[in-house]
Amino acid sequence: MEKLTGLKKIKTAVFISGTGSNLKNIIKFSKIKKSPISIDLIVSNTSKAKGLSFANQFKIKKKIFNFTNFKNTEKNILLLLKKEKIKFICLAGFMKILSKDFIKKFDGKIINIHPSLLPKYKGLNTHNRAIKNKDKFAGCTVHHVTAKLDSGKIILQKKIKITANDNPTSLAKKILKQEHKLYPASIIKLFS
């Protein structure tokens, strides 16, 4: 990954579908001096994503794409990314799977945060699955995005203990707290 030279931050887009707590956290991180990135665009596949409110709050450009025609939508997103000079994408609770073609055509890096200790529990319902299997540990992972779902090279991972009292909701809450530390740390690692 390119090293940071001078003061210019890398123009970044965050893709979301939901609450956007990671988005908010990344925006706040991007404003500190040691952040290698600035957040210049928020993309969502749904106008219902609560996290879109952070676009207004932090005065960041937002764009909603409905994916009814997947190929066309990806083409339009790529055009927008080019127009906005976006060089880096953070997926943060984005519920669409980007195509191999999109990943190849985007001339930059894409990373994602996933709420499990990858390679365990790719896909959905990770907390449920960890508890059902009586795992002793759960966690979160930031990884590069490749054409294969949740399978790209791991950048950083955080492990936490599952206690006897944990249920999927309490576990999700604990892990989310860790996600908010892991995502900025991973971005720093990636660019240093």
152 binds ligand GRF (CB under 6 A): no
Least Å distance, CB 147 to ligand GRF, is: 18
Query: What does the chain come to in residues?
Result: 192
Give the residue, chosen from 36, 51, 152, 184, that forms a contact with ligand GRF under the rule CB under 6 A: 51
Interactions with ligand GRF, residue window 119-148 (CB under 6 A): 140
Using the contact rule CB under 6 A, the part of the chain among 18-26, 32-40, 73-81, 154-162 near ligand GRF is: 18-26
The b-or-e profile of 94-120 (16+ CB within 10 A means b, else e) is: bebebeeebbeebeebbbbbbbbbbeb
State the residue number with the nearest CB to ligand GRF. 93
Order of all β-strands in the sheet with 137-144: 61-64, 37-44, 10-16, 88-91, 109-114, 137-144, 154-161
Q: Which residue has the tokens 């990858």?
A: 118
Give the residue, chosen from 40, 74, 166, 179, that forms a contact with ligand GRF under the rule CB under 6 A: 179
User: Which residue number, 78 or 176, has a Cβ lying nearer to ligand GRF?
Assistant: 176
Task: Tell me which DSSP letter residue 34 carries.
Answer: T
Give the residue, chosen from 9, 62, 96, 114, that forms a contact with ligand GRF under the rule CB under 6 A: 114
21 binds ligand GRF (CB under 6 A): yes
Using the contact rule CB under 6 A, the part of the chain among 36-44, 71-79, 108-116, 155-163 near ligand GRF is: 108-116
C-alpha separations of 186 from 157, 164, 191, 192 in Å: 9, 30, 9, 10
CB 15 within 8 A of CB 103: no
**Using only C-alpha atoms, what is the Rg of the chain?**
16
In the structure encoding, which two tokens stand for residue 36, read together? 């290698």
Q: Of the listed 114, 127, 143, 180, which one is catalytic?
A: 114
Least Å distance, CB 52 to ligand GRF, is: 11
Asked about 114 being catalytic, the answer comes back as yes
Q: Which residues bind ligand GRF (CB under 6 A)?
A: 16, 18-23, 51, 92-93, 113-115, 140, 176, 179
- Give catalytic residues, as residue numbers: 114
